[in-house]
Chains A and B, each alone.
Chain A
Amino acid sequence: KAGVTQTPRYLIKTRGQQVTLSCSPISGHRSVSWYQQTPGQGLQFLFEYFSETQRNKGNFPGRFSGRQFSNSRSEMNVSTLELGDSALYLCASSLARPGVETQYFGPGTRLLVL
């Protein structure tokens, strides 16, 4: 079974731009979660989607948004990029309940904001 895939793997943007990251979960997994990882803040939960609905949300500003498609693929969008948004963005998938089941992570997208 193919693992979680994320595209692109690397991105360089400038302040004020927006960016869209994509995540394809493991086949059969319907829950997708997004995390931001930075050296200073560690791994922080952004949001979780299940059946095209946002089910949980972390403490991030509204510039961070996401969506999930009917095939469970998910995208996250960051608008008006700031230098502090430079991070590794990780996507994780699970069957349906990430709090109960194991989450499997993708390789991440490294975003650098200049």
Chain B
Amino acid sequence: AQKVTQAQTEISVVEKEDVTLDCVYETRDTTYYLFWYKQPPSGELVFLIRRNSFDEQNEISGRYSWNFQKSTSSFNFTITASQVVDSAVYFCALSEFSQFYFGTGTSLTVIP
């Protein structure tokens, strides 16, 4: 079974639209960490956010916001007023017991 599920394989939005990327995880650990990474066409994974299992506060950073809900095992990522530069593949990841598990990624295309 997948530890991290990103059900949306590809999403296309028109510039300035808001978009939410879904992430559902599965773990039996009580202490775990969740991450989002962005992978532009250049290939390098860029760290966006890290959240531990005890901190359910939502976070906003500029146009980015994250909604962590333990009750539904979800850690969703919203981009507000999307821009062409947001076009990339976004990965959600879970770390438990010192192992990292990545989702299969969501490819976001922002159309000008």
Contacts and interface: CB of A to CB of B under 8 A. Distances in A.
A98 B37 contact: no
Contacts of B44: 105-108
Chain B, interface residues (CB within 8 Å), range: 20 to 34
B98 A88 contact: no
Contacts of B64: none
B43 A98 contact: no
B47 A45 contact: no
Contact of A98 (B45, B47, B98, B103): B98
B interface secondary structure, majority:
strand
A13 interface: no
Q: Which residue of A42, A43, A92, A108 has the most chain B CB atoms within 10 A of its CB atom?
A: A43
B97 A99 contact: yes
B65 interface: no
Contacts, number: 52
Contacts of A103: 35, 47, 100
A104 B103 CA distance: 17
Interface of B: 33, 35, 37, 42-47, 50, 91, 95-105
17 contacts: A35-B102, A42-B105, A45-B99, A45-B101, A55-B98, A56-B99, A92-B45, A98-B95, A102-B35, A103-B47, A104-B47, A105-B37, A105-B45, A105-B46, A106-B44, A107-B42, A107-B44
